[in-house]
Structure 1
Amino acid sequence: MKLSTKGRYGLRALIDLALYSENETVSIQSIARRQNISDSYLEQLMRKLRSAGLIVSVRGAQGGYKLARPANEISVGDVLRALEGSLEAVTCGGEDNSCQGADLCVTKFVWERINSSIRDTVDSIKLSQLVEESRLMREKGQIQVQKCDN
């Protein structure tokens, strides 16, 4: 499984939003500048995140975005599913009976374990943990503007 830029950039944007929206809304332009993401691409990602109920938008002169719920209630899995869709590494037809050999397929147990591990991992990491990690790295001077595309 490989995540697209939607998932990677969207998660970075949400961490940034969580860092800077504690007391006020945050504009797309400020997130885009800090994260080195184009405004137009970020707008697309923010629409998906808003549709998923992870962020809310505020209109007006002091408008912008903020988290829809506390960062400790938003998992990495929530963000990635909103932007990427299914996170399954392999879609095994055994569960919906679309695979004719499901009853005899030994490899389905491998795919189920892989998919379960991915789900467990991304659902166990909360946005608040990433925000705290980001703060610690900033204090140590290890973060400036994130430009990693991996």
Structure 2
Amino acid sequence: MDVPISLCRVQSNRTHSGYVADGLPWVAQKTVQRIDQLEKDARATQADYDAGNDDNYNAGICGVYDGLRATVERAVEEWVFRGVVVRHRDYINLKDLRLVAAVTVTHCERLQKLFQRCCEITQAHDRSGLRSFGVPRPDEALADLAELRAVVEELKNLQKAIPT
């Protein structure tokens, strides 16, 4: 008899604990899972964009880019450095070092371009009210997410081709 398995987590809020939620928390998700979630979040901003609810839209799309910035960092750990170097870990894992050879200057430039775009959009910086600044449209956010997914897929395929 097969028993279905589902991934859940127990979480808490400010006043209670013991809530069961589906899936992994953001901090534990891999790059592709994060991209999937961010694509859903970007699509969810479309209604506010279409309705001209600019404050809500700006908050939503900036949240997508905050998450994209963190996901680019995760992609660098997971796919560029293949877990060889991970922040806050006490050791270097050399068993997959050869896979780092798949990374090209073009991959680095594409990731840097995405990261810079995220840094320009993030709410972590207070922008001057005099500076003309428009946030990306939902389709532009989806294109940026597709670009990160494409870099990850390219690296994955190149790394698979490296002999073990």
Establish whether TM, by shorter chain, passes 0.5: no
Higher normalized helix content (fraction of residues): 2
> Which structure would you say has the larger RCO, counting Cα contacts within 8 Å and 6 or more residues apart?
1
TM-score, normalization by structure 2? 0.29
- TM (normalized to structure 1)? 0.31
